[in-house]
Amino acid sequence: MTKDIQNIYSRLLRNITIMKYKPGTKLGEVEISEKYHVSRTPIRDVFKQLESDGLLEIRSKSGSFVTKINLCDISDHMFIRSAIENQVLQEVKGKLTEADIKYLRRNLISQEKITFNKTFSTPEAYASAIFDLDNDFHKYIFTKVNKGSVLQLINDETPCYQRFRFLSFLRDDNDINGLLKIHNEMLSAIENNEECQLAEIVHKHNYSIFEGVDKIKGRHPDFFVD
């Protein structure tokens, strides 16, 4: 893909991930090509890539539809991310400066403020704000041990899991507050070089994503594969 077409792909990927295009939404080549002022040919290539990512289903003579969320493979993605994240957090111990700690704490404070001041137009906009801060929190840590490209690779290779991660921020307030608590525990363990606790916290952090998902499925059964 050219840089311009890659940008279109990234935008569509983002819109599917943050539920701007919800499962079942039909995406038209003509409409998308007109929106981004390109021909249908590169859009067709973008759609094929999204199909390869598992986010778009191209149906002959019917159109292209955002896929429903399949929970079957999510635990495998969690296992991979948990193992890598644990290794990165073990490496970052003792390498965060006072300024680094302050930056990460400000990030968590910003997340907490969002949960208390819900002034967003939609639940998806609220979830998107926390999702972006959460991504920044983890990216900052990975970057401190020169593993930013590893995190990017994980995200690029697991687009369906990223959509599921976003969906987890649509959980109830108690679940979100529990996640923020885990983040604070993680940062404290890094700051205090608590090696044994880190592994436990990382596992809890990654697998807590399942908490409250049944409620989301209850509210939006049409988002999920039966």
**Domain at 44, CATH number:** 1.10.10.10
Q: How far apart are CA 82 and CA 63, in angstroms?
A: 37
Do 10 and 97 fall within a single domain?
no
Do 209 and 161 fall within a single domain?
yes
Domain count, the chain: 2
Q: Give the per-residue pLDDT at 195.
A: 78
Query: Which residue has tokens 């701007």?
Result: 20
Four-CA torsion 150, 183, 117, 140, nearest 10 degrees: -30
170 neighbors 123 (Cβ within 8 angstroms): yes
Q: Give the per-residue pLDDT at 127.
A: 92
Identify the CATH number of the domain in which residue 113 sits.
1.20.120
Both tokens of 70, joined, read 């399949």
Do 174 and 127 fall within a single domain?
yes
Q: How far apart are CA 65 and CA 63, in angstroms?
A: 7
Digitized pLDDT (tens) for each residue of the chain, 226 residues in all: 788 889 999 999 999 999 999 999 999 999 999 999 999 999 999 999 999 999 999 998 889 999 999 888 888 888 999 999 999 999 998 889 999 999 999 999 999 999 887 788 888 999 999 999 999 999 999 999 999 999 999 999 999 999 999 988 988 888 889 999 999 999 999 988 887 788 899 988 888 888 778 888 888 888 898 8
| Apex 48 CA angle, 69 and 76, nearest 5 | 35
CA-nearest of 124, 132, 144, 128 to 190 is 144
Q: Is 57 helix (H, G, I), strand (E, B) or coil?
A: strand
Do 105 and 128 fall within a single domain?
yes
Q: Give the per-residue pLDDT at 212.
A: 77
Q: What range defines the domain where residue 24 resides? A: 3-66
